[in-house]
Amino acid sequence: MDIQLLVGEEAVAQVPALIPVAAEIFDDGDRFATLEQDAAEKPGLMLLLAWEGDDCLGFKAGYRRNEDHFYSWLGGVLPGARGQGIARRLMLAQHEWVQGQGYVYVTTETYNRYRDMLLLNLRMGFDVVGTLTTLKGETKIVLRKVLGEPEDV
């Protein structure tokens, strides 16, 4: 498996090809109707793609919130490719790049229904720092990791 890193305009240009992958990962095609526009509005967009040959197995995207803070925005692995450590490798690659860019911490949000992602975040050194309620009344879990802290390997 190869991991490809794209930043800025190169990352935004790849987003249209990611829409069907994201729809399959999250089993919700309608959710990504504005993904291309949303990605273009994210400052300092960074995108990691996990490839097996010509097949994209998963991705991880994030962007700059401020000079110290990187937000890990969206990502996942196709259902048929889960359980192989791909999400962990994408997260490690993201954190390595983010730390190399001088960020101090990374924040992400997830739902309780995505338990595997929640558990991975906790194993990788994230702390739960709060919750928020979406406009649809769903609770999101807010996690933050101070970069440079060891991951649970």
Mean pLDDT in consecutive groups of 10 residues from the start of the chain, 153 residues:
96 93 83 90 97 96 96 96 96 97 96 93 97 94 88 56
At 27 the pLDDT is 78
Q: How many CA atoms lie within 13 A of 79 on its CB side?
A: 5
Give the residue from 71, 64, 83 showing the smallest Cα distance to 110.
71
- 3-state class (DSSP) for residue 1: coil
Task: Give CA–CA dist 143/95, Å, rounded.
Answer: 14
CATH code for the part of the protein at 2-107? 3.40.630.30
- 3-state class (DSSP) for residue 38: helix
- Helix 115-123 / helix 86-100 crossing angle, nearest 10 deg: 50
- Say whether pTM exceeds 0.95: no
132 contacts 109 by C-beta, under 8 angstroms? yes
115, containing H or E segment: helix 115-123
- Within 32-133, strands assigned E span 46-52, 55-64, 69-77, 105-111, 127-133
User: What are the boundaries of each domain within the chain?
Assistant: 2-107
At 117 the pLDDT is 93
Give the residue from 73, 64, 120, 128 showing the smallest Cα distance to 92.
120
At 63 the pLDDT is 98
At 7 the pLDDT is 97
Fill in the DSSP letter of residue 139. E
48 contacts 94 by C-beta, under 8 angstroms? yes
